[in-house]
Amino acid sequence: MASGPFSMRHFRSIVLLAILCGTTGERLSGQAPQQMSEAAAANDWKLVESLAQSVIRSHRADPLAWTYLGFAHSHLNQPLLAAKDFEQAVRIAPEATYSHNNYGTALEALGRRGGAARQYEISLKLDAAQPAAFVNLARIRAAEESPSARRQALSLLEHAWKLAPDAEIAATLLQLQPCARSENRATPPWVNLNEYAANLLEWKTQVAESTLISAAEALANCGDVYQQAGHPEVAVPAMLRSIDLAPENELLRFRYGMLLIGTKAPKAAEIRIQEALQLFPSSTRLWFALGLAYFDQTMPAKAQEAFDQGLKIEPKSPPLLAYRGLTALDQQHYSEAESYYQKAIAADPSSADLHCLLAEAMEKSSGDAGQVRTELKKAMEIDPRLVAAHIRLGRLELNQGDAAAAVRELKLALALDPSQQEIHFYLARAYQKMHDTEHAREEGRLCSELQAANRDTERNALKDLARRLGQTTF
């Protein structure tokens, strides 16, 4: 999943502090600098404006006075005048990094990001040890939304992090990580992510709650990607870190439970989901996840109880109804399963998965080939690429004695996913009925190879259909 928009604060206060400490190329004589400094500290920007204008009338080439005037106009909501003031300071003191940083900030306020970026780049060429300039430039690049610009923003922020580790930078780094973006599913080194997360956890009170949640969600996204890449040993700690950052986020706890189930640890998932339910007893998706954890442990009675508890809260939840149907199917209560799937379809008639599950229950319940075929056709109309529907229609045609029709349908399934053991199993049977020994033998060989790696394939295929409903709904 892609993360939402994020923000990075401006480091204007850092720049102003540098100015007040006297880091300009020239110093004014007399009381003017101290007076402007005291007025700025008191947020009396009208006085700052008056003092700066007075200095400029007698010392027009003084960058400090122009800089104070720029800050005054900025705080007085006169961004165009502020930009002109800072531009004048740049002309007078082009070697001063602060002048370029301030001018860049003013240009950003006017929406002139390209010009602002150039000022930050000039400043960094003058002095590369400026975390504020790196952050400000990264903010502009990140806003461009392109993959290359985001990669550049990530690199800039990593430089800022090395210079001055900071909770806000850590939060933004987590949100910018490639694995949190839909256009790039690469996984960054966990040691980096863990370092950012640890810093953010230590200084989380310094960061807005919305930023914390966005960073936690980005970490959870990385956990999902690590799991998909076959690294559960990293996926689990990434998800745990996300919960550390946002312990009261019910969705993150649900995602953690689902990740544990996905990493073949349903018992661990059961324990963690039960803990989450202590905090969120009315969470439909947590009851769904608990039922799924029991289902994966082949505990249909407990799974049924969990799904029923969720249905008390949300009686028309398609994922809960679908899995409740699966528990009935597991116990060979076919009519009951059919009833649950029909209720689920009434709540979500556009789900191809549900029509496919209903067809499965109908075939085992009434055996009405016409009704089964109708439901499978509906599933394929909604989703022509639903492999499970093609397999079941091929099986139906085979059981009805039309081996040629079965082969046609199963070949469509094969083109969509050649790794499904069921396809080869039914193709072998169909070719046998057609007395095509050579093809039957080859499909039997492929079936045996896949069966060695995939046990209980029919149950898993049905489970995947229902689980997919949970992932899309919750």
pLDDT given at position 250: 97
| Average pLDDT estimate for 448-453 | 72
Does residue 208 sit within a domain? no
What span, in angstroms and rounded, lies between the C-alpha atoms of 208 and 177?
19
Query: Could you tell me the two tokens for 438?
Result: 């050579």
Does residue 25 sit within a domain? yes
Query: Could you tell me the two tokens for 106?
Result: 């003013």
pLDDT given at position 15: 40
Does residue 5 sit within a domain? yes
**Measured between alpha carbons, how far is residue 411 from residues 359, 433, 451 in Å?**
20, 16, 19
Q: Given a cut of 70, is residue 20 above it in pLDDT?
A: no
Q: Given a cut of 80, is residue 221 above it in pLDDT?
A: yes
Q: Given a cut of 90, is residue 449 above it in pLDDT?
A: no
Does residue 299 sit within a domain? no
b/e map 440-465, b = 16+ CB within 10 Å: beebbebbeebeeeeeebeeebbbeb
Q: What confidence tier does 25 reach under pLDDT thresholds 50, 70, 90? A: very low
Query: Could you tell me the two tokens for 371?
Result: 């009704």
Q: Given a cut of 60, is residue 192 above it in pLDDT?
A: yes
Query: The domain that contains 71 carries what CATH number?
Result: 1.25.40.10
- 284 in helix, strand or coil? helix
Mean pLDDT rounded to a whole number for the chain: 88
Q: What confidence tier does 286 reach under pLDDT thresholds 50, 70, 90? A: very high
Q: What confidence tier does 30 reach under pLDDT thresholds 50, 70, 90? A: low
What span, in angstroms and rounded, lies between the C-alpha atoms of 242 and 239?
5
Does residue 104 sit within a domain? yes
Residue type, 265: A
Ordered DSSP codes for 101-118: HHHHHHHHHTT-HHHHHH
Q: What confidence tier does 243 reach under pLDDT thresholds 50, 70, 90? A: very high
Q: Which of 194, 123, 204 is nearest to 168 (CA)?
A: 204
Domain count, the chain: 1
What span, in angstroms and rounded, lies between the C-alpha atoms of 51 and 282?
62
Find the range with the poorest average confidence among 31-35, 367-371, 440-444: 31-35
Q: Given a cut of 90, is residue 176 above it in pLDDT?
A: no
Bridge partner residues of 112 (DSSP) = none
Report pLDDT digits (tens) over 116-171: 999 999 999 999 999 999 999 999 998 887 888 988 999 999 999 999 998 989 99
Does residue 36 sit within a domain? yes
**Measured between alpha carbons, how far is residue 2 from residues 151, 174, 185, 247 in Å?**
15, 12, 10, 21
Q: Which of 128, 218, 213 is nearest to 173 (CA)?
A: 218
Expressed as residue numbers, the domain containing 14 is 1-163
Q: What confidence tier does 453 reach under pLDDT thresholds 50, 70, 90? A: low
- Contact partners, residue 290, CB within 8 Å, separation at least 6: 257, 270, 273, 274, 277, 306
| Average pLDDT estimate for 170-178 | 85
Does residue 15 sit within a domain? yes
pLDDT given at position 150: 86
Does residue 85 sit within a domain? yes
What span, in angstroms and rounded, lies between the C-alpha atoms of 142 and 241?
24
Percentage of residues of the chain with pLDDT beyond 90: 72
Q: What confidence tier does 367 reach under pLDDT thresholds 50, 70, 90? A: confident
Q: Given a cut of 50, is residue 81 above it in pLDDT?
A: yes
Reported pTM: 0.74
Cβ neighbour number for residue 118 with a 10 Å cutoff: 16
pLDDT given at position 470: 66
Cβ neighbour number for residue 267 with a 10 Å cutoff: 12
